[in-house]
Amino acid sequence: MKTRASAPLKRHGTLSRAAVYSAPPSAPPAKPALTRNPSLFPHRTLFWLTVFLCVMSLVFLFSVNIGEVLKPNATQTSLFHLFRLAIMQALWVGVGFVAMALMAAIPPRFWQQSAWVWMALCVGVLALIQFTPLGHAFNGAERWIRVPVPVLGAITIQPSEAFKLASLFWFCALYALPERRRWTRGAYLLLAVWLFGVILVERQPDLGTAMLIFALGVGVAFLGGASLAKLGLLLATSVLGIAALIITPLIKSHLSGEPLDAHKTSYRVQRIMAMLDPWSDEQGFGYQMVHAQLAVGSGGLTGVGLGMGREKRYLPAAESDYIFATIAEEAGFLGGIIAISLLGGVVYACFHLAMRARTRFGRLFAGGLALWIALSAGINLGMALGLLPTVGIPLPFLSAGGSALVSLMAALGVAQSIAREA
C-alpha cells in the first residue's frame, strides 16, 4: 500500500528549518528610565550612622558639662548655663537634620550648575572677616561671625566650615565637565579665587583648616583624573610653602634676637615641638597633649564610667579638639572602637555610593565627601593620640560646634539626593 509522501518543509529565504518554527525575536529591552526614590533619605545606612554619631556626641558633651561643673572655682549658675554646651549642640543637631532634609530634596544638578556661586560667596564672606570689623576674635584668632540670638545669647558661625562644602561643590562641578571644556579662562579665574579663599583661612590664622580645604581640592582633582605629574608638583610646592610658614617665626626670632613668643604664628612651631616631647613643656604648649594622652591611656578596656572622667576637667578643648580623649577615658577602648567604626562606616558608605552614582558629579561628590570625613577624623584622632600637633580640626559629628556639624550634614543631604537617583 502506497503511502502519501509528506510535503517538504517550506523554507523562507535563507532561514534554517529550526528558524522557521522558532518564535520571532523579541525587541531588545529598553534602557531603564531614570527613576527617583520617593524617600527623602533613601540611603538608610548613611542616615542611621549619622543619627548614632549625633546621639553619641550629645551623651559625651553632657558628660563634659558635668566636668565643667566639677572644675575648681566653678561658679554656680542656672541649669541652662551649666549645660549650655550640650543644649546648644542638641539645637545644632536639629538644625543639621533640617539642612540635610532641604539639601536632600534638591536635585544634584542644581548644586553642579551653581557651584561657582557658592564658592565665590564663601570667599567674599571670608574677605569681610579679614578686612572689616565683621569678624569676631577669640584666643587670638578671627574666624567667626557673632550673631545675637534671644534667650540663647550670642552664637558664633565659622564661615570656613561652609567653605569646605563650597570647595567640594566647585571641584566636583569642574571635573564633571569634559576635559576639553574644563580649563577655560573662567575656570582659571575661579581657581585663583579659591586659592585666595584658602589663603584667607590661613591668615585667620587657621592653618589646619586651610590645609584640609587644599587637600580636599587636590583629592577631588585626583578622583577626577587630573595628571599625576601636575598633582605631584602641586603637592611638593604646597609642602614647601607650609614648611616656610612654620619656620618663618624661628628665622625672624633668630635674626632679630626677639623671643619666639613675640611672633604671632610662633605657636605652630611650639605645637610641633610639644608633639615631639609634650612632657618637656607640661605646663605650657604640651599641656593639652599630656592630658589627652593621660585620658586615652587611663580608659582601659571599658572606661572609668560615663561622667567619671578626670582629665576633661583640665583639657581646655575637651568638647571639641579632644572629644575623643573624653570618649576613650570614660568608655574605654571599646567606646573608642565604636566611635571609629561609626565614622569608618560613613566613609565606606560614601565610597560605595560613589560607585553607584549615575552622574560623574555624583560620583565625585560622594568620593570627595568620604575624603573630607576621613581626613578630618584621621587628623583629629592623631591629635588625641599624640601623633599629630594640635591644629583645631574637629572630629566629624562628635566634636562640639554648630558650623562644622551643619556643613557636614548638609553635604550628607546632597549625598542622599545623589542616592535617590542611583
pLDDT of residue 18: 36
Q: Is 5 helix (H, G, I), strand (E, B) or coil?
A: coil
More confident residue, 167 or 78: 167
Give the per-residue pLDDT at 275: 86
User: Of 118-122, 174-178, 186-190, 237-241, which gets the smallest average pLDDT?
Assistant: 237-241
Residue 261 grid coordinates:
613668643
What is the per-residue pLDDT for 17? 39
Residue 55 has pLDDT above 70, yes or no: yes
| pLDDT reading at 20 higher than 50 | no
List, in sequence order, every beta strand (DSSP E) within 254-392: none
**Residue type at 25 in one-letter notation:** P
C-alpha dist (Å) from residue 402 to 55, 96, 157, 220, 229: 15, 8, 7, 25, 38
Average pLDDT, rounded, for the chain: 86
Q: What percent of the chain has pLDDT over 70?
A: 87
Can you tell me the mean pLDDT for 308-330?
88
Query: How many beta carbons lie within 10 A of that of residue 131, not counting itself?
Result: 10
Please report the pLDDT score of residue 288 as a whole number. Answer: 86
Q: How many residues does the chain have?
A: 422
Highest mean pLDDT among 2-6, 38-42, 89-93, 311-315: 89-93
**Could you give the CA distance from residue 31 to residue 34 in angstroms, rounded to a whole number?**
9
More confident residue, 280 or 67: 280
The per-residue pLDDT for range 325-347, each reduced to its tens digit, is: 999 999 999 999 999 999 999 99
Max intra-chain CA distance, the chain? 131
- DSSP run (H or E) holding 141: strand 141-149
